[in-house]
Amino acid sequence: MTPAPARVTTAATLLLNATYEPLCVVSSRRAIVLVLAEKAESVDTAAEVVHSESVSLPVPVVVRLTRYVRVPYPAQVPLSRRAVFTRDGSACVYCGSSATSIDHVVPRSRGGTHTWDNVVAACRRCNHTKADRSLAELGWKLPHPPRTPSGAAWRLLGARTVDPRWREWLGMPETVSA
Ligand SMILES: [Zn+2]
């Protein structure tokens, strides 16, 4: 057995199925072990190189399994603050600056639900300004209606931060910059 490499700066690696479908996020250490065992191949790598006793290997950012595995997925993406931030690119949907909170589009005090189609990422200022008012009262508009995330990529990323280098494999839009 190849001994696991000592230190890796890239903490996490996206693991793809043999079909290139995203499966899960593993530690880079785990990904290196898979590549060295020829159970996976590197698809995208970081600049850092990791050295073991016999080989030097660029740290994998994305790896693909050499053999297909069948994985059942849960039906729904759990609604969490981090998942909403991931969906909305960590940007306030109203002004585009850095999001710090979750806003209920229809305020909860007015019967708005805590569901995917009524929550958005918002900055402190917009959230504070909006308070218990509706968008119509403020004359604000949403760039697009909030949607329930779907697909394997979303199911696995529900509660994680996203390495920008994974986004093309996850079918996710680029992060909106302020
Ligand atoms: Zn804002």
Looking at the structure, do residues 1 and 70 belong to the same domain, yes or no? yes
For residue 80, give the nearest of 177, 163, 162, 160 by alpha carbon.
160
pLDDT number for residue 166: 86
pLDDT number for residue 178: 33
The answer to the question of residue 144 being in a domain is no
Ligand 1 centroid to residue 110 C-alpha, Å: 21
Q: Which of 35-49, 68-82, 151-165 ranks highest by mean pLDDT?
A: 35-49
pLDDT number for residue 139: 95
Looking at the structure, do residues 69 and 123 belong to the same domain, yes or no? no
What whole-number distance in Å separates Cα of residue 20 and Cα of residue 38? 16
Residues 6+ apart with CB under 8 A from 25: 12, 13, 14, 15, 156, 157, 160
**Band of residue 42 on the pLDDT scale cut at 50, 70, 90:** very high
The answer to the question of residue 19 being in a domain is yes
| Half-sphere exposure of residue 137: CA atoms within 13 angstroms, side-chain side | 9
Ligand 1 centroid to residue 151 C-alpha, Å: 28
- Higher pLDDT, residue 35 or 23: 35
Ligand 1 centroid to residue 26 C-alpha, Å: 33
Ligand 1 centroid to residue 158 C-alpha, Å: 23
CATH number at residue 102: 1.10.30.50
65: pLDDT strictly greater than 60 = yes
The answer to the question of residue 88 being in a domain is yes
Domains held by the chain: number = 2
Looking at the structure, do residues 94 and 113 belong to the same domain, yes or no? yes
The answer to the question of residue 53 being in a domain is yes
pLDDT digits (tens, 9 = 90+) for 71-125: 776 667 788 898 899 889 889 999 999 999 999 999 999 999 999 999 999 999 9
Average model confidence (pLDDT) for the chain?
A: 85
Ligand 1 centroid to residue 125 C-alpha, Å: 6
The answer to the question of residue 4 being in a domain is yes
The answer to the question of residue 25 being in a domain is yes
The answer to the question of residue 143 being in a domain is no
Q: Residue 140 class from Cβ within 10 Å (0-12 exposed, 13-18 middle, 19+ buried)?
A: middle
Looking at the structure, do residues 14 and 70 belong to the same domain, yes or no? yes
The answer to the question of residue 47 being in a domain is yes
Instruction: Give the strand pairing for 101-104 and 22-27.
Output: unpaired
177: pLDDT strictly greater than 50 = no
Looking at the structure, do residues 8 and 92 belong to the same domain, yes or no? no
Ligand 1 centroid to residue 90 C-alpha, Å: 11
For residue 151, give the nearest of 16, 12, 17, 21 by alpha carbon.
21
**Band of residue 10 on the pLDDT scale cut at 50, 70, 90:** low
Instruction: Give the strand pairing for 56-65 and 12-16.
Output: parallel
Ligand 1 centroid to residue 177 C-alpha, Å: 12
Looking at the structure, do residues 91 and 46 belong to the same domain, yes or no? no
Range of the domain at 59: 1-77+149-178
Ligand 1 centroid to residue 178 C-alpha, Å: 10
